[in-house]
Structure 1
């Protein structure tokens, strides 16, 4: 029995999506007694989407799981800095489960990132076999709710860590003219903090709660935004030159997006659901729908109304 992991590539997307869908659908049949309810820890958003798989291969750390030369699953992780890792998803084809593939893959991913001292993850409260599995692999419960369990695994480093500040109350501390390049924060509360006139270039935010935050006068050139929940957010005086929205949706509540007083010349919308879209009091010169000039269509429409 040979179990290995290899970095996934775009050409793997179709096969990995098929295995992920098969795995998570089987988990849903097993654990979701109320089939009308979706448990996003069992069937995570985009789990059946090839485009989502491509995104995760390109933007996250995605390994395919190989069992005796056959791809049988995948593991997706987020590595923050040098010391912190998160298991976003792990899945093994149901036909190959029970062969200790999952436990070996956890060992392999830890070997792949030996500097990571802390691993965390969440799983559904309903998947009791997952609880047994992760606890067997050395994970400890950090929280549990009716729907979700959180786990953490801390690995003792044989090497002393320089400049480590841990378990300190730094509330109301002020930092001015400080060099804090490559600072790593994990399980840190910065609620109500203010950051101004600072260089945060190449900063990585992952699995953070930024609700009710404010971003004013910020340079976001060449930034990447993916897998975000922006419900009820407001964007004002925003320059969107060259911005692309890909595989976006309106969420469960289907609350419509509004564009007001926006300059969007040359914008393209394709392969999208625009039912009940309204455009009023706007300059539509040069705008086309299926290569038909909209101003010509309206000209014909109004001419017909006058007849």
Structure 2
């Protein structure tokens, strides 16, 4: 008996353990040179319980049940009502070969019957995945030396009301238009501009926004997760109440830089602060492991005078 159920936080440890075992086994099978990083085989955070908790809370995460045991998971992103993306699917190596994956794909499609287009990505190295997804009705729409991208369309365009497809509407201007609940998929918006517009509750996922510019925007109560902001510049930004969790400096370890910033009451805990530099700053009340920094500096300067 194969079923799927929404994952809950108490499942995080178990699901992380299974995910790690699954993807590590895939790496042993397909990555002959262990110095190679393949993020489709070992995706970022795949062994992190905190990443699993984030995905349970913020994405659509189902645990896979075989008889009464949790044997894997499937994580999807649903955009609007018509578009879905399978972010990850994994089955415990001890349970593979029992047609669990194919049944789970069928179950997730039944769970979201309005989704007519499904996307996913897999490593170019995982030849078995290529055969599996093609058997499930997916077709390659893009591939590189490292990655294969697949799409599955469930119904014809003629069945969709108000669908505009394969049209060149570049250089078009829209003014005073009601575009509420508009859905865009595989749309080229490069160089587009949005001004004086209401974009509340907009959902943007799996999009390339590199070199974009956001100015004079109200982002209150917005949520940002699983983003690459390397080399970005944030200027004249109000950050009151902002919370950074499980954030790092990327592969290049380029340091953050704060200049002329008011960081009163800021709390940094359980973080890697090696080579952190603080200069020309007001450190009144600042503590490290509950020890006042002012007292530490006072002792230090006293020692220098001896």
Gaps of 5+ in 1: none
Counterparts of 1:20 and 1:158, CA distance in 2: 37
Deviation digits for residues 69-114 of structure 1 (CA, Å, limit 9, x no counterpart): 1100000000000000000000000000000000000000000000
Q: 1:306, CA displacement in angstroms?
A: 1.6
Q: Return 206-215 or 247-256, whichever deviates more.
A: 247-256
Partner residue in 1 for 2:145:
146
| Distance (Å, rounded) in 2 between the aligned partners of 1:73 and 1:214 | 40
Q: Which residue of 2 aligns with 1:26?
A: 25
Structure 2 partner of 1:98: 97
Match of 1:12 in 2: 11
CA contact (8 A) 2:157 2:163 kept: no
Of 290-299 and 137-146, the range deviating more from structure 2: 290-299
Deviations 1:101-160 (A, max 9, x none): 000000000000000000001100000000000000000001111000000000016983
Per the alignment, residue 56 of structure 1 pairs with 55
What do the CA deviations read for 1:49-76 (whole angstroms, capped 9, x no partner)? 0000000000000000000111000000
Cα distance between partner residues in 2 of 1:101 and 1:217? 49
**2:267 corresponds to 1:299:** no
CA distance in 2, matches of 1:37, 1:252: 14
1:1-307 superposed matches below 5 A: 2-156=1-155, 160-307=159-306
Question: TM-score, normalised on structure 2?
Answer: 0.99
Structure 1 segments of 4+ aligned residues over 4 angstroms from their partners = none
Distance 1:36 1:304 in 2: 47
TM-fit CA distance, 1:301: 1.2
- CA displacement, residues 181-200 of structure 1 (integer Å, 9 cap, x when unaligned): 11000000000000011110
How far off its partner does 1:297 sit?
1.2
SS of the aligned residue for 1:298 comes to helix
User: Which structure 2 segments of 5+ residues have no match?
Assistant: none
Specify the SS of the correspondent of 2:159: coil
